[in-house]
Structure 1
Amino acid sequence: MTFLRAVTLLALIWLAFDPGPAVSFAVYVLIGVQVIGWLWPRLAGRYIVWQRHAPLVLAPDEVGEVTITISYQGRLPLPYLIVTEDVPPSLSAVTRKRWVLSLRPGQRYTLRYQVQGRQRGLYWLGPLRLVIGTVIDRNEVLIGEHQPTPLTIVPHVVPLPLLELPAGLPYSQERRRLSLFDDPAQTIGVRHYRPGDSPRLIDWKTSARLGELHVRELAPVIARMTVIALEFSETAYRGRFARDDRERAVIATASLATTLINRQQAVGLCSNGYDPLTKAPIVPLLPRAEHDHLRTLLLLLGRIEPVSTGSVLTELSSGTLNLSWGSTLITVTAALDEAWLAGLTMLRRRGLYVAVILADPGPSDVLQARRYGIAAYRLDRAGGIVVDA
C-alpha cells in the first residue's frame, strides 16, 4: 500500500467517526487525486508510439546500431517513462538496456545502442517494455511488445586463397587448378604420383624414362550446377567437440557457396537442419548464381540448428533436388561410415560428380572415399578445407 492510499484509508475511518465538512472535503480530494493518478498513465499510453530500427543481418564481428524512436502525442506531459530492452548476451555485454525519460506533448525521442555479431545464430531483440508513471502516486502502466525483432548473424566466410587446395574446388569452367574434377580428354602436363591418384592417370612412358611414377595432369572442368549438402544432425556429430565440428561444417559450406557464386556458378543448398525462424525443416534451395540467392543462403546457414536424428542422405536419395547428369554434389559431414559410402557411391553411379568434406574424419576416411572414386577433403580448426596428400 502506498503512502497516499494509507492516508486516504485513515481519512475514511476518521470520516466514519466524525463526518464533518472539512474531513469530507479532504477525503474527496484524496480520492480525486488517486483517480486522476490512475487514469493519467492509462490515457497517456494510448498516445505513445514507438518503433525499433535494427539490422536484419550482421556479419561476424560486425557492429550494428539499434535505434528506438518514441513519439508522444498526448495533451498531458509524462512525468517519467521507463524504457527497458532485453538484448541477448551474444550481442552485447549489457543484456538489459534501461532509460528513464520525461516527455512533453508532441515530443519525439530517439534511443540508441550497439550490438556486435559474435556468434552465428538467430537472435531476438526485445521484448521492449515501457512503464508509464505519474508524480501523484505510484500508478505505473506496463506496455509490452508482442513480437521481438529477429537478427541473424551469418557464419564466418574463409577466404579461399588461404585454403590449402591441391586441385581447388569447383569454381565454374576456368582453365586453372580450381576444380574437384578433371577432364580426361585434355592433358596439361605431368606430375609426381601421390597416394590416392587413380592408376588410370599413370603416364607409363614418362615414369619409365624418369624412373619414378608420374601421372597425367588434366585440365579442370566441372558442370555449372553445384549443390552443397550439409549434414546437420546430432547423431552425425559426436564426441566432446561435436558443436565445434558442426560450426566448422557451416563455415565450410558458407565459404564454398560464397566463392562459387562470386565466380558466377549456380549453387544450391540441401540440409536436414532446422530453421528456428520458420519453425520448420530447412527447405532446399535450388541452384542459382545471383547475389540475392547468396544472401538467402547465408541467412539460412546463419539460422540453422541441428536436429536430433535423420540424415541428409535420405533427401539426396529421394531425388527431390532433380540434379541433372554431370552436376556436382558436395557433401559436408563429420565422418564416413558404411551408410555414407554406400549412399555417395549410389549418387555417383547416377552420373553426379561427388565430393565429401569431413569435419572429424577417421584415420582412413579420406583414403577410403578416394578408393570409391569420391573426392575427399577434411577441415582444419578454422573451417578451412585442406587435402591429405
Structure 2
Amino acid sequence: MIWPAAIVLILIIALIFRLGLLMYAMYTLLGVLLLSRYLTHRWAASLQATRECNRLAAEEGDEIAVIITIENTGNLPIPWVMVEDLIPREALVYLPPRLGVTGPRMKLTHLWPRSKRAIRYQLKCNRRGYYQLGPLVLETGDLFGLHRQFRVLTEPQFLLVMPEVIPLTGYAISSKRPIGEVRMTYRLYEDPTRISGVRAYQEGDSLNRIHWRATARTGVLHSKIYEPSTVAGTTILLDFHKDSHEQRHEPRRSELAITAAASIANAVTLMGQQVGMITNGRDAADRIRTEGWASDWRTRESAQVAAGVRETSDRLRPIVIGTRRGGDQLTQILEMLARLELTDGLSLTQTILETSSRMPRDATVIAILAQVTSEIAIALGMLRRRGLVVVAILNIFDITGFADAAGPLIAEGIETRQLESEESVAEICAAYWLR
C-alpha cells in the first residue's frame, strides 16, 4: 500500500505545479502497478499442484520417491514461480539428517498456458520417525518485483519410518521361557480349548477333564492338562522425558532406547509371549491431531513455522499399549515407537503411579532408563514389592555413570543391565534367555 499512496501523492503535487512529464511518469507507474497486481493474482489463481509418494511407510535405509506436479490452468504464461515442498526443520538439522534429500525440493521455474511441470526428489530414511511432507508453497509475482502472491497447495502427507529391529542373541524361537523368572500367579484360570498334556487322574477331576482316548488305550484313568489363560511376557516401560536425556547426547541415546525397545518387543513376540508398552513420550500423530495445520499462510516463513514441531507439550496422559499377544500387537508397538517424540509432560515416576494398576503381574517389567533418580528407584521398587518382576536397562554409555545410576536400583532389589551402544542391544537380554 505504500507504493500506490506515494504515487498518488506525487501525482497530486505534479497536477498542482503543472509538471507534465512527472504526471506522465506517475500515470505510467500507477498503470504498471495495477497491471502487475492483476496479473499476479491471475497467475496465482491459475496454479494447481499435486504430490505423489511411492509409499508412506518405510524402514530405516529406504528411499522414498516424491513427484510434485505443477499445472497452469490459465490462458496466460507464468514467467516465474518458486516452488518449495516443506519438510520440518527437525528432520534436516542433524548430521546425518533424519531425512536425506536428493534432488530439488525447492525450484524456480516458469509455465506456459495450459502446461504442467514435474519436480522430482528422493528422501533417504536415515532414522525412524513420523514426518510431515508438505504442504507445498508456491510464490509468483510480476517481473519488476512490485507485487508477490503466495499459495499453499496440496494437503500434507505423513511418512512413517519404522524403527530398526536388531535380532537378539541367545534365545530360541521355540523356547517358552519368558524374560526373567516369573511365577504364574493366576494358573487357576485355564483355557479348556488348549491342551498342553496328559496326567494321571486325581480325585476331584471333573468328567469333562478326563482324556478318554488315553484312558481307553492304557486302561487307567487320565486327565487333560490345560494351558493357563494368563501367560508370561513383558511390559516395556520406556522413559522418554526430555529432562532424562542430556542434550549433548541427543539424538543418539533416545534413538538407542527406541531400538532396544523395538528389538525386545520383536523377540518376545517371536517367543509367543505377550508384550506391551508404557511410555511418557509424545505421539507425533496425536500432536498433529491436536495442533492441526493451517492452509492460508501469506508468506513462506509462516508456512515453515507452522510445519515445525512445537517445543512444549501439555499432554498429561501416558501412552499405554496393553500387554497382549499376537503379530498385530507387535505392529502397534513398532508404529508407536516410530512416532514417539521426547516430551516435557509426565515424569517417569508420575507415569508409573498412573499406570501401575494396568501392569499384569505375570509379565516382567523391563524399564529402559536414561537417568535414575531416587524417585524413579522408589517407584520401580514399589512395583517389585507388589509382586512384579522388574528389570532395568540403563541407557548409559560410560561405566562410571552406569555404576552411579545402578546403585539406587540395586538397593531396591532391581536387577540392572547396561545399554552401552547399538552393538550391545543384541546381547542386552541374552542372560535372561540363556538361563
Alignment TM-score, normalising by the size of structure 1:
0.67
Matched, 1:330 2:329: no
Matched, 1:228 2:236: yes
Aligned to 1:42: 41
After superposition, the C-alpha distances for 1:301-343 in whole angstroms (9 at most, x for unaligned) are 2343334585324333344652334133221113556544443
Task: Give 1:386's aligned amino acid.
Answer: I
Aligned to 1:312: 348
For 1:240 and 1:137, the matched residues in 2 are separated by: 44
Aligned counterparts, 1:151-166, within 5 A: 151-160=159-168, 163=169, 165=170
Task: Give 1:226's aligned amino acid.
Answer: T
8 Å CA contact retained: 1:34, 1:137 = no
Gaps of 5+ in 2: 185-229, 288-314
In structure 2, do the counterparts of structure 1 residues 51 and 376 end up closer, same or farther at CA, with 3 Å as the change threshold?
Answer: same
The count of residues paired between Structure 1 and Structure 2 equals 336
Matched, 1:353 2:389: yes
For 2:416 and 2:259, the matched residues in 1 are separated by: 17
1:302 to 322, 338, 345: 338
After superposition, the C-alpha distances for 1:344-371 in whole angstroms (9 at most, x for unaligned) are 3432343433322222263387698678
Aligned counterparts, 1:81-100, within 5 A: 81-87=81-87, 88=89, 89=92, 90=97, 91-92=99-100, 97-100=105-108
Aligned counterparts, 1:92-241, within 5 A: 92=100, 97-126=105-134, 128-134=136-142, 139-144=147-152, 149-160=157-168, 163=169, 165=170, 168=171, 174-175=174-175, 179-181=179-181, 223-224=231-232, 226-237=234-245, 241=249
Is the deviation greater in 104-113 or in 363-372? 363-372
Note the aligned Cα RMSD (angstroms): 4.4
Aligned to 1:62: 62
Identity of aligned residues (%): 24
Task: Give 1:311's aligned amino acid.
Answer: S
For 1:27 and 1:340, the matched residues in 2 are separated by: 74
For 1:133 and 1:369, the matched residues in 2 are separated by: 64
8 Å CA contact retained: 1:232, 1:305 = yes
Is the deviation greater in 362-371 or in 270-279? 362-371
For 2:329 and 2:279, the matched residues in 1 are separated by: 16
Aligned to 1:386: 428
In structure 2, do the counterparts of structure 1 residues 364 and 177 end up closer, same or farther at CA, with 3 Å as the change threshold?
Answer: farther
SS in 2 for 1:246: helix
Displacement of 1:29 in angstroms is 7.3
8 Å CA contact retained: 2:137, 2:153 = yes
After superposition, the C-alpha distances for 1:117-144 in whole angstroms (9 at most, x for unaligned) are 2234454444532122355875432224
Task: Give 1:39's aligned amino acid.
Answer: Y
8 Å CA contact retained: 1:62, 1:116 = yes
Looking at secondary structure, tell me which structure has more helix per residue: 2
Alignment TM-score, normalising by the size of structure 2:
0.61
For 2:163 and 2:348, the matched residues in 1 are separated by: 20
* Structure of higher RCO (CA pairs closer than 8 Å, 6+ residues apart): 2
Displacement of 1:50 in angstroms is 1.7
